[in-house]
Amino acid sequence: MLVKWMRCTVLDRAGFERGQRKWAGLSGEPGFRAQGGGWSRSQPGVVHLFGFWESRSFYDSFMARSHDRLAAAQTGTYQDMRVRLFQYRFDVKMGFEPRFTEANLLRVAHLRVHRDRAEHFALMQEKVWNPAMAGSPGMLRGVVAEAEPESEFLVLSMWDSAAERAKYRTERVERLVLRSQMGADVAAINGDIIDMEPSWTV
């Protein structure tokens, strides 16, 4: 499964949101699974969107055929669009499906990992971080994906409320960082908390 992460700064909110509704046309595209996102909590005007495709070949076919027609409705409403593609690696909680229903909050972490530590990092995600997140009552589902050969990882988790995610963060993160030897694995990390916009979900 291919995971597409899009991030941009919106200049014309009303125009952007009108154009965003046009992406409902994705639902008929071969290989398309889901798309959703919302507004950054920490950076005013910044939007994050996440798309899921069955494979890179289906995605490439869509980009060649239909993308520009759907994107035209948002021309001039945003700037600084950044797009990154990742390959699914494993679930954060068992039985991941690319669905945004029930989620009110998304957490995205983007990590650049030292190449010789990539497999250790992935193992620690699976054995240390994932059980901790999966055990949090408010965590609905999530996915770890990887971009090669840059040794970049995307960790996307879906939560039912900000309050539930705050409990997880306060209680556990420092202990998990030490236990997973994260400091030795990770060269750079950034992330964001996103308030879901349900009307954008396809």
The answer, yes or no, to whether residue 137 has pLDDT greater than 70, is: yes
Token code pair at residue 102:
């029930």
* pLDDT digit string, tens, across residues 91-129: 987 778 999 988 999 999 999 999 999 999 999 988 888
The answer, yes or no, to whether residue 163 has pLDDT greater than 80, is: no
* pLDDT digit string, tens, across residues 174-202: 788 788 888 899 999 999 999 999 999 99
Question: How far, in Å, CA of 50 to CA of 135, rounded?
Answer: 24
Question: How far, in Å, CA of 34 to CA of 156, rounded?
Answer: 14
- Domain limits for position 99: 2-200
Domain count, the chain: 1
CATH number assigned to the domain comprising residue 165: 3.30.70.100
| Beta-carbon count within 10 A of 125 CB | 21
| Beta-carbon count within 10 A of 169 CB | 12
Question: How far, in Å, CA of 60 to CA of 193, rounded?
Answer: 29
130-137 mean pLDDT: 80
Does this model's pTM top 0.85? My answer is yes
